[in-house]
A = this chain, B = another copy of it.
Amino acid sequence: MLQQETHSPRSSEETRLRIFAAARQLIAKKGRRGTTTREIAELAGVNEATLFRHFGNKDALIDACVLHYCPAVDLQAFLPNRDGNIEEDLRAIAHFMTERMESLRDLILATFVEEEQWSAAGDAAWRAPAMIKQILTDYMAARVQRGELEGDPVLMARLFMGTIFAYVVGRKRMHYPDYTLDQIIDFNINVFLNGVRKKN
């Protein structure tokens, strides 16, 4: 009796991806609590019941979504050549970090307004930044030991990451339409390097 010619079934995996994409979009805009399963289903072009058949409940869905978009960092791709020129290294690191944080900005911001019980996904979103922080600290320490920089490597790494964090996150509210990303990164790196380079 029921004709259903319009909808062709999709693979299970494709459905998951569509749900993830929709969920992420809504989480970024309204936060975890403000996002409804009905909206996710609608935006994903999927029936609401399918959400629950896949993930069981809303919390598990969103956890899976965040984990899906926040995989572990590719450390190999991130590690700079430790023998290279500092300025070039930092520039490469800054661009890598900026791109990566930019692509996760919405999820990272959403973790700021999460309740404690949701910290599983929140921790996942911050895993990558935490690892990068460590790598950066090691890098700074090596350069200090070589006598190229001077100061506390922990604070140096913190400051360097902070400038990028502020750029990415702050851009949502503070707009600088007259400057390009490269201009800002270059300026920040120059000031930073002038500030921490060892004087002769």
Contact = CB atoms under 8 A, between A and B. Distances in A.
> Oligomeric state, in number of copies?
2
A154 B159 CA distance: 19
A174 interface: yes
Interface string A147-186: 0000110111011011101110110111010110001100
A161 B155 contact: no
Contact of A195 (B130, B154, B172, B195): B195
Contacts of A98: none
Interface stretch (A6-14, A55-63, A78-86, A105-113): A105-113
A100 to B, nearest CB: 16
Contacts of A162: 162-163, 165-167, 170
A166 to B, nearest CB: 3
A161 B151 contact: no
B184 A191 contact: no
A154 B166 contact: no
A123 to B, nearest CB: 9
Contacts of A173: 111-112, 126, 129
A103 interface: no
Contacts of A192: 191, 195
Contacts of A191: 151, 156, 159, 191-192, 195-196
Given A30-B115, A31-B33, A162-B165, 13 more contacts: A31-B113, A112-B173, A151-B187, A152-B187, A155-B183, A155-B184, A155-B187, A158-B174, A159-B163, A161-B166, A165-B166, A166-B166, A190-B195
23 contacts: A31-B33, A31-B34, A33-B34, A109-B113, A110-B113, A111-B173, A112-B112, A112-B113, A112-B172, A129-B174, A151-B187, A154-B176, A155-B188, A159-B188, A162-B170, A163-B163, A165-B170, A190-B195, A191-B191, A191-B192, A191-B196, A194-B195, A195-B195
